Amino acid sequence: MKAKRPPQEYLVCKAKEENFSEMKNEGFEKGEAAAAEVKSESVDSIVAASSAKGKRRFLLICLPLTVPTSPPLGAPLLKAYIERELPEWQVRVLDMNLWCYGRVFDMLRDGSLRFPPQVLGGVKPEELLRIPDFFRGKSEEDFFHTAAAYDHYGGLLAELTGVVSGHLSRVADDCKSGVPSDPLLAQALQRITREQADCYGISMIFDQQLAVGALFGRLLRRQTGKKVFFGGSCFTEGAEDFLRWYPESADVIIDGDGEEPLKQLLAQEGSPDGVSGAVFWRDGQVIRNPPEYRRDIDAYGGAPDFSDLDLANYYSPLPVAPLLLSRGCYWRRCAFCVHYMSAGLTYRLHGLDRVIEILRGLVAQGIRHFSFVDEMIAPGHFDNLARAIIASGLDIAYYALAKPTRAFTPEILRKMAQSGCKYLLWGVESGSQRVLDLMDKGTRVEDMQQVLRDAHTAGIANHVYVMAGFPTETRAEFIETLRFLDRNREAIYSIHRGVFALESGSPIFKHPERFGITKTWLVSPTPLGGRWMYESAGGMSRQEAMELLTSVQPYLRAFHPHAILMAYYRDHAMLLYAQRGMAAMRALPRHFPVPAMLAAPIPAR
């Protein structure tokens, strides 16, 4: 199973990752000298934390590199639960993702990092150094009103992230023994070990974090002699593969809900015996204990503890807090999907009273913008949630994921808007009913159209996911998707798009013959099981789908009324809608360069 990837707008990075290898001498030439110059920005907090006498210290590490617009969620949830359940343990969350961004900009500022001219289009360091202030709303250029500036800095940050992330993964995999010679990784490891914890946890979600996590785990185990535990949604089916790929990376990997297994591991001095979802080495074999999924997730608490994190340092002008109101997916049938499997094919809800209590607590801390990161929220639950938020009197703004079914009535959508819903990410996927049925989406084209228009009328912005190249999909059927988007373009504010990929563990992977796939093969092994390719009985090839999708990018990018990259940074889109209001967004002109294929008659299949 592949690690989760951020469901964001497809963006081609202009800078080739391999160019970063030239920086070993040109940009990272200071080596150990640079590693010795680690900033002591949090020494005071470390000293204060260590003053908790008699308590053992558990460090939860969030890894680089992913979009830094808001804090992580999993580690703060675990911190709150463990400190409640095991008072003898003090838990500290260390966001090394945000730290690494800070170090990259520090190194650009002091000249210890220089990019070759062919990287990032030869942009000067002083231009890159404007990125943090712009996204934090501290720039002379208005975050909320200057679309060109947003796209400029958003593009630079996306390209910088891709280049640095690729570099870190390569050098982490190349470091077979000892401390990495790369100064950024060396400084990061030094920053972690300064915490002097009794035990370490490393959280991983995205595939670009795997190599770095494995390196940190191996070196922490070797240098400190302490236990290291891994967890994260990417390990649902790939934990055994990962442990065989990186055999010295962790003492235990946790699959499934992390709260109770982590509590057991800490209470048992790291022993995985009887720990649900534990994956570990024993007698030369990788062992997996079956995971368990607690039905009553209110027992976990559900309120993240962000007290170790400075929310003002994230790359957003106002803090945006992620929240998980449920675990799993109520549908659990989409043929291409693997994300819901991390919840063990369950759908479990927090009680509404508990959700309101959590929201009240965070609003009291000055946070009123939220991303509900549930796999998707069912219409009935959304109705109850909206009613509860309205009754509570809370003044909040949020966005979430949903499936556009007829159960989202105009009345429910109006209540959602009244409760603070600014936009929804809808799983549209296709405008062809045959393709939707083959995907087992459980949606109808005419219902999706009505829901999008009703949401727009209610004052909710619509962002939609579409997919090209599902097995046996023809060019004509993808054009049906484009026509669907074009018919509803007044109601759609962004298109999140991608090409179908065969994910290990998905329903289509397990039963390819049901979906017209005639052949599958392993293209290359990966830490989580491998990258797979396929042939189908008809329709477009993956290459044809990629070329077709690329050809309509200018049209798809035109849907957002403000800035093209607002779809890439999802938290920012919500802040924009909340700040400027939907009436102002609707008044903005949009110019659609209509593809020739939409102007032509509908071709025969």
- On whether residue 431 sits in a domain, the answer given is yes
Domain containing residue 206: 17-43+57-288
Looking at residue 113, its amino acid is L
Across all residues in the chain, what is the average pLDDT?
90
- On whether residue 49 sits in a domain, the answer given is no
Q: Tell me what pLDDT residue 602 has.
A: 58
Q: Tell me what pLDDT residue 473 has.
A: 98
Q: Within this chain, do residues 331 and 281 fall inside the same structural domain, yes or no?
A: no
Q: Within this chain, do residues 353 and 416 fall inside the same structural domain, yes or no?
A: yes
Q: In this prediction, what percent of the chain has a pLDDT beyond 70? A: 90
pLDDT tens, position by position, 529-550: 899 999 999 999 999 999 999 9
Q: Tell me what pLDDT residue 320 has.
A: 98
Confidence of residue 14 (pLDDT cuts 50, 70, 90): very low
- On whether residue 497 sits in a domain, the answer given is yes
pLDDT tens, position by position, 359-376: 999 999 999 999 999 999
- Say whether pLDDT at 129 is over 50: yes
Q: How many CB atoms lie within 10 A of CB 603?
A: 10
Q: Within this chain, do residues 358 and 416 fall inside the same structural domain, yes or no?
A: yes
- On whether residue 308 sits in a domain, the answer given is no
Q: Within this chain, do residues 215 and 131 fall inside the same structural domain, yes or no?
A: yes
Ramachandran area for residue 13 (φ above 0: left; ψ -120 to 50: alpha; else beta): beta
Which position has the higher pLDDT, 596 or 152?
A: 152
**Phi and psi at residue 245, to the nearest 5°:** -70, -40
Confidence of residue 16 (pLDDT cuts 50, 70, 90): very low
Q: Within this chain, do residues 323 and 275 fall inside the same structural domain, yes or no?
A: no
Q: Within this chain, do residues 339 and 480 fall inside the same structural domain, yes or no?
A: yes
b/e code 546-569 from CB counts within 10 Å (16+ = b):
bebbeebbebbbbbbbbbbbbbbb
Give the CATH number for residue 479: 3.80.30.20
Chain centre to alpha carbon of residue 4: 7
pLDDT tens, position by position, 313-363: 999 999 999 999 999 999 999 999 987 776 777 899 999 999 999 999 999
Q: Within this chain, do residues 109 and 224 fall inside the same structural domain, yes or no?
A: yes
Look at residues 239, 272, 288 and tell me which one is the last residue of a structural domain: 288
Q: Within this chain, do residues 100 and 233 fall inside the same structural domain, yes or no?
A: yes
Question: Whole-angstrom Cα distance, residue 483 to residue 489?
Answer: 10
- Say whether pLDDT at 475 is over 60: yes
Q: Which helix (H) or strand (E) holds 544?
A: helix 542-551
- On whether residue 39 sits in a domain, the answer given is yes
Q: Within this chain, do residues 249 and 364 fall inside the same structural domain, yes or no?
A: no
Count of domains observed in the chain: 2
CA nearest 164: which of 237, 243, 105? 105
Q: Within this chain, do residues 381 and 240 fall inside the same structural domain, yes or no?
A: no
Q: Tell me what pLDDT residue 510 has.
A: 94
Cβ-contact 205, 233 below 8 angstroms: yes
pLDDT tens, position by position, 483-506: 999 999 999 999 999 999 999 889
Q: Within this chain, do residues 336 and 220 fall inside the same structural domain, yes or no?
A: no
Strand residue runs (E) in 99-251:
199-203, 227-231
Q: Within this chain, do residues 347 and 207 fall inside the same structural domain, yes or no?
A: no
CA nearest 502: which of 541, 531, 536, 462? 531
Chain centre to alpha carbon of residue 140: 29
Look at residues 269, 288, 307 and tell me which one is the last residue of a structural domain: 288
Integer CA distances (angstroms), 198 to 49, 143, 523, in order: 13, 43, 41
Provide the β-strand partners of residue 468: 499
Q: 3-state SS of 506-540?
A: CHHHHCHHHHCEEEEEEEECCCCCCEEEEEECCCC
pLDDT tens, position by position, 185-214: 999 999 999 999 999 999 999 999 999 999
Q: In this prediction, what percent of the chain has a pLDDT beyond 90? A: 81
pLDDT tens, position by position, 71-96: 999 999 999 999 999 999 999 999 99
Q: Tell me what pLDDT residue 52 has.
A: 59
Look at residues 268, 288, 308 and tell me which one is the last residue of a structural domain: 288
pLDDT tens, position by position, 449-464: 999 999 999 999 999 9
- On whether residue 147 sits in a domain, the answer given is yes
- On whether residue 113 sits in a domain, the answer given is yes
